[in-house]
Structure 1
Amino acid sequence: MMGTPKLLILLGYFLIWNSPGVLGSYRRSSSRCILVPRSMALCYDIGYTEMRLPNLLDHDTMAEAIQQSASWLPLLARECHPDARIFLCSLFAPICLDRLIYPCRSLCEAVRSSCAPVMACYGYPWPEILTCNEFPDDHELCISSITDESASSKRIVPQASCRDCELEEPTSAKEILEHFCNSDFAVKIKISRKNKTSTIADFDLDSKLEVLKHGPLLKTETYSKFKQWLDLDATCVHNIMRGTNTGVYVITGEVQNGKVVMVNKAYAWHKKNRNLQSAVRRWRHYKCRT
């Protein structure tokens, strides 16, 4: 997800298109070049160091751009499209050149077709401000896809599923144990909101993290990887917690590219879940079927 090719190398493909009709009016006279801050996680280290403000979504201040761009981090964590980050950063943090660079309509449509179903699973429609018809055609000068088509066709992208990250009701200890066997990791964690009025991404991870199965993760990096998951995939966390302010959960999933933790199942840990408690107790001595 974060291995985006350097944009400055690809400027030959990122052609310049200048039109006042796209996404409303752009105040060129008041625009200024600013360093992309580290706190702008969506676009920091994407391949260039300076961006324009106001950006192409009319965010006047860096604080506003950072806040609005952060809401897209959970979508990137779902890896719905390999060019989603490029598309979003061309709008939130446009590269600082003499003329404006817009994404091509085909790039918008490709990202929308892959990512809109994932957003719909969590109750978020594709924003009207990102209407693809507002962007230039490919035969005009604009930012096209940077993903190699042959490589992209071989890349496995998780399919949109409205059951992804749902809180599970354990049916039997054996079924849970078999699911542990088929997962890269299984961890017991405590998650809490920082405050009752916090945003969707405002969660804390308790330092006492019980690793049942670490899989390809190094034991020393397990906590940091799940802290990263908490920050990047907050939509999944929100879905698991179902509006509660704190909870203990057993979560399972896969590790993509040896780096990114993707949660696919979660079980609430409480006294009534005897099957879950039994599975956790038996796991250390359980022999998985080959």
Structure 2
Amino acid sequence: MKLLAPLCPWKAAALVPLLMSLVSLTRSSEYEYETWRPPIYGKQPQCMDIPDDLRLCHGVGYSKMMLPNLLEHETMAEVKQQAGSWVPLVYKNCHPSTQVFLCSLFTPICLDQPIYPCRQLCEDVRDRCAPIMEAFGFPWPEMLTCNKFPQSDVCISAPNNSTADAPHVSPICPPCDHEVDAILDHICASEFVIKTKIKEVVREGPDRKVFLQKKKKAVKLGPLKKKDLKKLILYLKNGADCPCAQLDNLSSNYLIMGRKADRQHIITGIHKWDKSSKDFKQTMKKLKSHKCPTFENVFK
């Protein structure tokens, strides 16, 4: 089953040959392939199945991956820990090749030698997706610094029509445009989740400062303590001017997800607690038995 099928820009059956068609075959005399081979490739790579619970890449279009991977993860546990952080970004569809770029590194296809994404592909994905990440208080991580990747050797490039097929960038504040079917992934990727009402929203520089009502119910505490809930103030990062319909009428209960960044508690997702929505009710029911994968925050 294609867990991230709606996010994938190509049909699964066609993805492997398409990946091969995206490989740039030009050679550069200045480029030595061995300089891009991680030190861990002294260890014999193994070809293995992409696990069902590796949400980022299971169903991406090929079923086997090489381990160690191209981010120097030596075990499947490491891959899962790191990859889980990226699932919400792929849901944002900020670039049509985001998932292919990430999976080429996390779950490289089994070949005689590893093939890296092209530098231009990295830069294209970074330029589209970094502003979304910044809205959540995340910088583009050092492990994906684009100048580490090849410019003109054998590498995975973006389709020629990636610009034409690029999704329309929503003007809505990123934490405010989550789909209901993505709530569980966003809950797992957030440090804390609460059910509460909002007392007041004020503009503070480029952000919106969100004051909560006294009564709050913790759905997921994470690093917070119960005493922290009493004085909790949230920020909609870079959200002073973008639309957020959830904040237009403050009479509702809200499901709010967040994380701490630079001494601020940032909103990573906000939904009205809509009891009339069948999908929302089913999602909240699933949450009771849903087990989030354990992963490390790679956006530090």
Query: Given the two structures, how large is their TM-score scaled by the length of structure 1?
Result: 0.58
Residue 108 of structure 1 is matched in structure 2 by 122
- Judged with a 3 Å threshold, the aligned counterparts in structure 2 of structure 1 residues 236 and 88 are, in CA distance, closer, same or farther, namely closer
- Whether the aligned pair in 1 keeps the contact of 2:9 and 2:97 (CA below 8 Å) is no
Deviations 1:159-204 (CA, angstroms, capped at 9, x unpaired):
5x6x4336xxxxxxxxxxxxxxxx9x9xxxxxxxxxxxxxxxxxxx
Q: Identify which of 27, 33, 36 aligns with 2:41.
A: 27
Structure 1 residue 142 corresponds to structure 2 residue 155: yes
- Residue 229 of structure 2 corresponds to residue 246 of structure 1: no
CA distance in 2, matches of 1:124, 1:150: 25
- The residue type equivalent to 1:8 in the other structure is V
Partner residue of 1:260?
A: none
Residue equivalent to 1:51:
65
Structure 1: how far apart are the matches of 2:52 and 2:153? 33
Partner of 1:206: none
Report deviation, 1:7.
2.6
Q: CA deviation at 1:37?
A: 1.1
Contact 1:116 1:125 in 2 (8 A): yes
Aligned residues: 198
Contact between 2:90 and 2:99, CA under 8 Å: does it hold in 1? Answer: yes
Q: Are the aligned partners of 1:80 and 1:158 in contact in 2 as well (CA < 8 Å)?
A: no
How far apart are 1:234 and its partner, in Å? 3.7
| C-alpha displacement of 1:23 | 7.6
CA deviation after TM superposition for structure 1 residue 86, in Å: 0.4
Q: Tell me, what secondary structure is at the counterpart of 1:165? A: helix
- Could you say if the C-alpha distance between residues 89 and 150 of structure 1 is closer, same or farther in structure 2, counting changes exceeding 3 Å? closer
Which of 3, 10, 19 aligns to 1:4? It is: 10
- CA apart distance, 1:124: 0.9
1:34 aligned counterpart, secondary structure = strand
Inter-partner Cα distance in structure 2 for 1:147 and 1:264? 36
CA distance in 2 between partners of 1:74 and 1:237 (Å): 10
Partner amino acid, structure 2, of 1:245: A
Identity fraction in percent: 35
Letter in 1 for 2:169: V
Q: C-alpha distance in 2, partners of 1:48/1:94?
A: 10
Match of 1:14 among 5, 8, 23: 23
1:238 Cα shift?
A: 6.3
CA RMSD of aligned residues (A): 3.6
**Cα pair 2:116 2:156 within 8 Å, conserved:** yes
Q: Pick the aligned partner of 2:186 from 197, 208, 233.
A: 233
Structure 1: which amino acid aligns with 2:16? Answer: L
Q: Does 1:73 align with 2:87?
A: yes
The answer for the alignment partner of 2:50 in structure 1 is 36
**One-letter amino acid of the structure 1 residue matched with residue 219 of structure 2:** T
The offset of 1:63, in angstroms, is: 1.6
Residue 212 of structure 1 is matched in structure 2 by none
Paired letter, 2:133 = M
Distance 1:22 1:124, change over 3 A: farther
SS of match in other structure, 2:77 = helix
- Structure 1 counterpart of 2:168, one-letter code: I
- 1:47 shift after superposition: 1.4
1:99 aligns with 2:52: no
Which segments of 5 or more consecutive residues in structure 2 lack a partner in the other structure?
Answer: 1-6, 196-215, 221-243, 254-271, 277-300
Q: Check the 8 A contact 2:9/2:96 in 1, yes or no.
A: no
Distance 2:40 2:189 in 1: 35
Aligned with 2:165 (options 152, 156, 174): 152
**Any idea what SS the aligned residue of 1:246 has?**
strand
Larger relative strand fraction: 2
Per the alignment, do residues 4 and 40 of structure 1 end up closer, same or farther by CA in structure 2, a change over 3 Å counting? farther
Secondary structure at the counterpart of residue 4 of structure 1: coil
Q: 2:188, 2:170 → 1: CA distance?
A: 16
Equivalent residue for 2:75, pick from 51, 56, 61: 61
Measure, in 1, the Cα distance between the counterparts of 2:57 and 2:37.
20
Q: Which amino acid aligns with 2:69?
A: N
Deviation of the 1:46 alpha carbon? 1.1
Task: Show the 5 A alignment for 1:194-273.
Answer: 226=180, 228-234=181-187, 241=194, 245-246=218-219, 265=246, 269=252
Shift of 1:61: 1.1
Task: Please tell me the residue identity of whatever aligns with 1:233.
Answer: H
Other-structure match for 1:164: 174
Residues 14 and 105 (structure 1), Cα distance of their counterparts in 2 relative to 1, 3 Å cut: same
- Tell me, in whole angstroms, the C-alpha distance in 2 between the residues paired with 1:64 and 1:135: 22
Q: Given the alignment of the two structures, is residue 128 of structure 1 paired with residue 136 of structure 2, yes or no?
A: no
Q: Which residue identity is paired with 1:165?
A: P
Q: TM-score, normalised by structure 2?
A: 0.56
- Cα distance in structure 1, aligned partners of 2:165 and 2:33: 30
